[in-house]
Amino acid sequence: MKVAVLGAGAIGAYVGAALHRAGADVHLIARGPHLAAMRQYGVRVRSPRGDFTAHPRATDDPAEVGPVDYVFLGLKANSYAACGPLIEPLLHGTTAVVAAQNGIPWWYFHRHGGPYDGRRLESVDPAGTVSAVLAPERAVGCVVYAATELEQPGVVRHVEGTRFSIGEPGREISPRCLALSEAMRSGGLKCPVEPDLRGDIWLKLLGNISFNPISALARATMRQMCLHGGTREVIETMMTETLAVAAALGCEVGVSIERRIAGAERVGDHRTSTLQDLERGKPLELDVLLAAVVELAEITGVPVPTLRTVHALSDLLALRSAA
């Protein structure tokens, strides 16, 4: 199995290291000091489950890698439309693109069925620019439950969780999903193949849509948000509105809001990826979280006043941080 990790940051390098341990031919595509460190020292993983170092190949040139069986996409979703020159050398006729993104994916309504089948969401696929680069037919959905941070170039701190749920947009249990699942499990990760990954998408989104923007607005960790009474109430309201949109699309999330917040509190003083990006001066990945659900709320006619308010504030923050 030949795998390219395009965007080998914290999550990408962690997955690449695990797959390399499983015997896959892994190529990490990165740049700058992080690339230099991985080339020289490998990927060093610091984890409560045990530290380890893996030595997959690392490059900044996808053309050196050539066509692969799987592209694990570790890029932020807001860079998908521009990744064509990077991903094109990695593709052959059956290459699967495993998009490890937060929020609503560009392929969400691909083979969805029902009245919204094939519908494009402007917030995540503006003018079809993402679908033009990443054909929905190639997509294997991936919901990441692991929490990681890039401690320093080449060093990934694994905070908690090893689950990477995957699934086909059309809901079938495909050979390509089963093969990837087996490789991930051999590398020490949990990788269930879900018959309908959209339920997992909404479950993960329930936390991301609330904790990520609030953490950036308040510069707060998971524990701090959960323990602050007023902020906790805002988060609960955002989750309630999100569940209403999911239900309007036929998705029932099998966890209570109280349990979801309790789980977040147990993560402790972890900073969300959005807060990490803000602190590092990187673009904020909010369209696939807030903007997408606000757009889905408009489509389904579900009122989401709190989501709209936080979206407006977060949008201004994203604009100011990019200036």
Which residue numbers are catalytic? 204
- Going by C-alpha positions, the residue among 48, 67, 52 that lies closest to residue 18 is 52
b (16+ CB within 10 A) / e for 150-164:
beebbbbbbbeebeb
- Chain centre to alpha carbon of residue 54: 22
Nearest-10 Cα torsion for 76, 78, 82, 85: 10
Rounded to whole angstroms, how far apart are CA atoms 102 and 99?
A: 9
Q: How many CB atoms lie within 10 A of CB 140?
A: 24
Question: Could you give the C-alpha distances from 146 to 47, 185, 311, in angstroms and in order?
Answer: 11, 14, 25
